[in-house]
Amino acid sequence: MDGVDCMAVATTSALRQRTLTALALVPLVIGAVLWLPTPLFALVLAGVIGIGAWEWATLAGVADQRLRALYPLLVGGAMMLLWSSPQGLLWLTIASALWWLWQTWRLLRMRQIESGVGVDLRLLVVGLLVLIAPWAALTTLHDASGGPALVLFLLFVIWSADTGAYFVGRRWGRTKLAPVLSPGKTRAGVYGGVLGAVLCALVFAWLQGLAPLHGLLLLLVSAVTALISVTGDLYESLLKRRCGVKDSGQLLPGHGGMLDRIDSLTAAAPLFLLGTTLIGVR
Task: Using the CB atoms, write b or e for 192-223: b if 16+ within 10 Å.
Answer: bbbbbbbebbeebbeeeebeeeebebbbebbb
Instruction: Report the C-alpha gap between 59 and 63 in whole angstroms.
Output: 9
Ramachandran angles phi, psi of 62, nearest 5°: -80, 105
State the pTM of this model.
Answer: 0.91
CA 246/CA 158 separation, integer angstroms? 22
Do 128 and 134 touch, CB atoms closer than 8 A? no
Residue 176 backbone zone (phi > 0: left; psi -120 to 50: alpha; other: beta): beta
Q: Which residues contact 189 (CB under 8 A, 6 or more apart)?
A: 165, 166, 168, 169, 173, 177
Region 23-52: mean pLDDT is 93
Mean pLDDT of 232-237: 94
Range of the domain at 250: 3-278
Amino acid, single-letter form, for residue 78: A
pLDDT digits (tens, 9 = 90+) for 109-148: 888 887 767 789 999 999 999 999 999 999 999 998 889 9
Query: How crowded is residue 34: how many other Cβ atoms within 10 Å of its Cβ?
Result: 12
What pLDDT digit, counting tens, does each position of 39-90 carry?
999 999 999 999 999 999 999 999 888 889 999 999 999 999 888 887 888 8
Query: How many structural domains is the chain composed of?
Result: 1
What pLDDT does 250 receive?
76
Q: 136 with 89: CB under 8 angstroms?
A: yes
Closest CA to 16 of 183, 245, 246, 255: 255
Q: Do 161 and 193 form a contact (C-beta atoms < 8 A)?
A: yes
Q: Residues 241, 195: contact at Cβ < 8 Å?
A: no
Say whether pLDDT at 225 is over 50.
Answer: yes
Please answer whether residues 232 and 264 qualify as being in contact, where contact means their C-beta atoms are separated by less than 8 angstroms: yes
Helices 121-142/38-59 angle, 10° precision: 160
